[in-house]
């Protein structure tokens, strides 16, 4: 049972445009959400996070939106750059537990 | 450089062989994790250790054992490798969920 889902395996966006990556979850106990970025042959790196008490968190070009009623979060990258080309994973945790449940990932390709 | 170090980076095993994947972190984090990444499956938790002296099963623990040797080190052992354990294995550590995980660069394991 996949509790965190990323239904788009891949996404292609032109440089300078907005990239929107989506993530849905089924467990209503999740209350903290994170996005990770992964380049080939490297481990994932933390990008941005959001608590369930917020609906938006922004860090430079990256913004995460959380819609609790829809159990949906999204990552916006504006403007997209070629160096953003990577696999993006969303992840979620419950309560005080620090272990994360990850989605299946979305491969973003930013083209020139 | 501070971070999570995994050894080896690559390994080929024959079915039935055993091996131990090593992981060490120098950030004084309490919690450590082992994940595997498979195509289309995202990152799945094998085992984790919330603090020194404790270990717990994750989503896919069958066929694996772990040892939290001390606060720095968390090893993953395959007692009798099977082709289904062909995967990329990531170790991670965290202080708490707010700051997310720091991942190692991964071990690519092939079981033939």
* Higher-confidence position of B100 and A75: A75
Report whether pLDDT(B1) > 70.
no
Chain segment B41-95, per-residue pLDDT in tens: 899 999 999 889 899 999 999 999 999 989 999 999 999 999 999 999 999 999 8
Chain segment A7-50, per-residue pLDDT in tens: 999 999 999 999 999 999 999 999 999 999 999 999 999 999 99
Tell whether B43 is within 8 A of chain A (Cβ). Answer: yes
Residues in chain A closer than 8 A to B41 (CB atoms): 104
Contacts of A110 (CB under 8 A, 6+ apart): A12, A13, A14, A15, A19, A80, A81, A82, A83, A84, A85
Calculate the average pLDDT of chain A.
Answer: 94
Contacts of B18 (CB under 8 A, 6+ apart): B77, B78, B79, B80, B81
Tell whether B84 is within 8 A of chain A (Cβ). Answer: no
Inter-chain residue contact B94 with A98, CB threshold 8 Å: yes
Tell whether A21 is within 8 A of chain B (Cβ). Answer: no
Report percent pLDDT > 90 for chain A.
91
Inter-chain residue contact A36 with B99, CB threshold 8 Å: no
Phi-psi region of A12 (alpha: psi -120 to 50; beta: other; left: phi over 0): beta
Inter-chain residue contact A99 with B104, CB threshold 8 Å: no
- CA distance linking residue A51 with residue A98, whole number of Å: 13
Helices (H) then strands (E): counts for chain B: 0, 11
Report whether pLDDT(A51) > 90.
yes
Inter-chain residue contact A46 with B100, CB threshold 8 Å: yes
Inter-chain residue contact A46 with B40, CB threshold 8 Å: no
């Amino acid at each position: 049972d996949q509790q965190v889902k990323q239904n788009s395996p891949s996404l292609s966006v032109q440089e300078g445009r907005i990239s929107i990556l989506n993530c849905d979850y089924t467990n209503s106990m999740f209350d903290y959400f994170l996005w990770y970025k992964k380049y080939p042959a490297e481990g994932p790196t933390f990008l941005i996070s959001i608590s369930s008490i917020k609906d938006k968190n922004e860090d430079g070009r990256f913004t995460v939106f959380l819609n609790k009623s829809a159990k949906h979060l999204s990552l916006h990258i504006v403007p997209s750059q070629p160096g953003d080309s990577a696999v993006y994973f969303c992840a979620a945790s419950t309560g005080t537990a620090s272990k994360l449940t990850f989605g299946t990932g979305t491969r973003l390709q930013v083209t020139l | 450089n501070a971070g999570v170090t995994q050894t080896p980076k690559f390994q080929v095993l024959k079915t039935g062989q055993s091996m131990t994947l090593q992981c060490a972190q120098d950030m004084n984090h309490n919690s450590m994790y082992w994940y595997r990444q498979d195509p289309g499956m995202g990152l799945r938790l094998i085992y984790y250790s919330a603090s020194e002296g404790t270990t717990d099963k994750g989503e896919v623990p069958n066929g694996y054992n772990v040892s939290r040797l001390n606060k720095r080190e968390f090893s993953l052992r395959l007692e009798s490798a099977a082709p289904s354990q062909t995967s990329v294995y990531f170790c991670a550590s965290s202080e708490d969920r707010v700051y997310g995980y720091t991942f190692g660069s991964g071990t690519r394991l092939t079981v033939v």
